[in-house]
Chains A and B, each alone.
Chain A
Amino acid sequence: MRARRALAGRRRRREPAVIFVAFHLMPYRPLDLAAAEKHRSTWVVLPNSFYDPVKGADEYESHLSVLADAERLGFDGIGVNEHHQTAYGLMPAPNLIASALIQRTRHIKIAILGRALPLVSNPLYIAEETAMLDNLSRGRIIQGLVRGIGAEYHASGVNPYFSHARFLEAHDLVLKAWTQPGPFAFEGEFFDFRYVNVWPRPYQQPHPPIWIPSQGSAETVAWAAAPERKYPFLVTFSGADLVVRYLTSYREQARKYGYEAAAGQLGWAAPVYVGDSDEQARREAGAAVESLFNNFLRMPWEMLIPPGYMSLASMQNFMRSRKALGSNPHRSADELIDSGTALIGSALSVRHKIAEMRERTGFGIMVPLLQFGTLDDTLTRRNFERFAAEVMPHFRKDQ
């Protein structure tokens, strides 16, 4: 033990391999972007007459087959996620996609990045479904837990004022349901059950790994980093400086708790596109990444951050910075690339960006969004292959 520790000490500069989870939002690409612009948002209020089931069924098939291929390409995991009433993603029920992927793959992890706990009236259904998936896959499930983005509270009607409190209580309920012998009673503020007795139990013991994808609120970081949890924390869709700030705050929080955060606790999710050259990558993926941020993710502040979704103090700070920021600006591909929000370039450039971020944060989980916005199947497949062949191997072995 002592010898190993000494060895680890000598190899301080050497970092462990990065875990790569190929991520996909399953957008509805045939969306008439110009017509959709006439509506308040691509979420909640965009009429579902914009959705053509025949085209949509094709979308499901092509998205699924691209994702399933991630196993052959050598990724560690496939990431799916949950959003409601939107063309941004066709996965209101991510477990259905996870289930389909389990049948199309053999050993790759399936990361459900995240179920939105506060949105359901009975979180035990989430505990049950994940336990089923974990059994169906013989222990390949990673359970992301989230609150959903603000628009979800407009779509579900759930009161955002209680979002944080519901999340925490639902989490406690799910964890208890997985780890403590049932039946037992649960007596919470929001959830009260005489019988908690989840069949089946999860395949992984004591429970599937829990990850926390988040935009980085201080409350969430402090909670995820707590010693009894040490949940990996994924920063999603933020500029490079923000990613560094959030992951650093997790590290600092861990130190306050008296331990050093492991690389495997720090994750980063970002749109990534690998082309032959920087110029070609920009040409191929520029319009697609702009459509992700400006069309598919388009919504006013009132939908993105309903009152209560953030703590009052965080929101007051945010409003002050927002005044300086102005309203939702159009984001160009150049700005998204320059700010490090999207990694688009040659394999060499993308590797450099990832290496630089590792240097700055020591992160150990990367969740590249390899299809985004309108990016078509051909480019998406090429992107998956290039990323797997020309980027991933460089972060695979202890360096």
Chain B
Amino acid sequence: MEAMEHETSRFVVRDVGVNVRHAGAGERVLFLHGAADVLEWLPFFDLLAPQCELLAPDHPGFGDSDDPPWIHHVADLAMFYLDFLEDMNWPGVHLVGHALGGWLAAEIAIRNATRLRSLTLIAPEGIRLKGVPRGDVFIWSPEERATNLFWDPAHARRMIERPMLEGQSDRILRNRYAATKFLWQPRGFSPDLEKWLHRVKLPVSILWGDSDRVVPGAYARRWLERIPQARLEMIERCGHLPHVERPQECARAVLSLVAAGGASRP
């Protein structure tokens, strides 16, 4: 498949410059990246963009976005994105969040869903399931990390062997700093999120790789318990990055929510 043309824009909200890559037209789909940001335009985006307007921002602190010192935790990030959505004056957005970005999407949705149409949570962080240990991404070596992120070792090999582009290692390090700020303690969750998940009244899809070694699949069922109207799809032969390892399944799930129109407009 041909990679789609995409553009990069910079939006400034509350003095914070946010770098946004985008392509396509139609219903807006906002992709909220995980701890590693989006180093390159993904095939997953190419599957979405022909049927919607796909927007992929770098969160404040990540990639090419600014890093305001007053954003301390994921709840701050969520409030910032509510300002962002309001500033853009978009009437309705479909949120797709992976891992840290899934947690962020849920934090946004429990606070104010008036501008949201649907939620796709891909292996989200954000809650804790006692007795189910998660992978320690902070102690793993880069090789272990790559290996543990995927079901298919070929993906891991590509990640390990991929030549670094100019400036990319600095960018990866910057992302790692930002990810540490948001994920280190409590490790990848907020003690306050789970008790408010019932407030999510939107159409929700939860996607999870059945071989996720970072946030094990057992977490998926807890999310489903807390958001009963959600549709859960366990993806076989897939690790912690379903949108990379199984982009077709993920795109199909997102687009079916987009086609259904999501929540009715107010």
Q: Interface residues, chain A, CB within 8 Å of chain B?
A: 40, 45, 153-154, 157-162, 300, 302-303, 306-308, 312, 315-316, 319
Q: Cβ of B184 and Cβ of A160 under 8 Å apart? A: yes
Q: How far is B141's CA from A162's CA once the two chains are assembled, in angstroms?
A: 22
B170 CB-CB contact with A under 8 Å? yes
Tell me which of A160, A300, A307, A316 has the highest count of chain B C-beta atoms within 10 A of its own C-beta. A307
Q: Which residues of B have CB within 8 Å of A158?
A: 185
Q: A157-B185, A157-B187, A316-B170 are in contact. Are A308 and B180 (CB under 8 A)?
A: yes
Q: A154-B138, A159-B185 are in contact. Are A308 and B173 (CB under 8 A)?
A: no
Q: Cβ of A307 and Cβ of B139 under 8 Å apart? A: no
Q: Interface residues, chain B, CB within 8 Å of chain A?
A: 138-141, 169-170, 173-174, 176-177, 179-181, 184-185, 187
Q: A159-B184, A159-B185 are in contact. Are A308 and B141 (CB under 8 A)?
A: no
Q: Cβ of A302 and Cβ of B177 under 8 Å apart? A: no
Q: Cβ of B180 and Cβ of A316 under 8 Å apart? A: no
**Minimum C-beta distance from A5 to chain B (A):** 46
Q: Cβ of B177 and Cβ of A308 under 8 Å apart? A: yes
Pull 9 A–B residue pairs with CB atoms less than 8 Å apart, ordered by A: A154-B138, A159-B181, A159-B185, A161-B180, A302-B140, A302-B141, A307-B176, A307-B180, A315-B173
**Minimum C-beta distance from B94 to chain A (A):** 31
**Minimum C-beta distance from A189 to chain B (A):** 9
Q: A315-B173, A319-B169, A319-B173 are in contact. Are A159 and B180 (CB under 8 A)?
A: yes
Q: Cβ of B181 and Cβ of A161 under 8 Å apart? A: yes
Q: How far is B177's CA from A312's CA once the two chains are assembled, in angstroms?
A: 8
- In chain B, what residue has the closest Cβ to A318? B173
- In chain A, what residue has the closest Cβ to B73? A159
Q: Cβ of A303 and Cβ of B139 under 8 Å apart? A: yes
**Minimum C-beta distance from B180 to chain A (A):** 4
Q: Cβ of A308 and Cβ of B181 under 8 Å apart? A: yes
- In chain B, what residue has the closest Cβ to A301? B141
- In chain B, what residue has the closest Cβ to A315? B173
**Minimum C-beta distance from A121 to chain B (A):** 11
- In chain A, what residue has the closest Cβ to B180? A307
**Minimum C-beta distance from B23 to chain A (A):** 30
